[in-house]
Amino acid sequence: MRIILAGTLLALVACTSDPGTNATEGAVGGAAVGCGIGAAVTAPLLGVGCVPGAIIGAAAGTGTGLASTTPPPPSTAYAPPPSTAYAYPAPPPPLAAPPPHAPSYTYPPVAPEASPPSY
């Protein structure tokens, strides 16, 4: 009974919109249930029915997994959300170019070159 419950739970977990995942998990669950039932039925023969039960269970589980595939959600086109970004105003244009600055240090005037003394 526990094996059937485990296989059923594995099959229920596989209810996705991906058919490959559903078929794989259905096959694993079906093989587990089939192996358990086959081994239980052929217990006096040392459980030789496990392998054929697993094969049949995997085949049945694959079909069940594919049948449990849900359709993908509908694709609807939505308008983009309105922009919430704040646009800063442009800075005002400059009024006029500033006047050139006079240097804060002025060099002393150049003295006229003195002629060498004559003897």
Amino acid at 82: P
Percent of the chain scoring above 90 in pLDDT: 0
pLDDT digits (tens, 9 = 90+) for 1-45: 666 666 565 555 556 778 888 888 888 888 888 888 888 888 888
- Model confidence at 111, in pLDDT bands (50, 70, 90)? confident
The Cα 43–Cα 53 span in angstroms is: 13
At which residue do the structure tokens 């003394």 appear?
Answer: 117
- Model confidence at 84, in pLDDT bands (50, 70, 90)? low
The average pLDDT across 66-74 equals 76
So what's the pLDDT on residue 15? Answer: 66
What is the pLDDT of the chain when averaged over all its residues? 75
Q: What DSSP line would sit under 62-111, residue for residue?
A: HHHHHHTPPPPPPP---PPPPP-PPPPPPPPPP-SPPPPPPPS--PPPPP
Is the per-residue pLDDT at 105 higher than 70?
Answer: no
So what's the pLDDT on residue 67? Answer: 81
> In this predicted model, which residue has the larger pLDDT, 83 or 13?
83
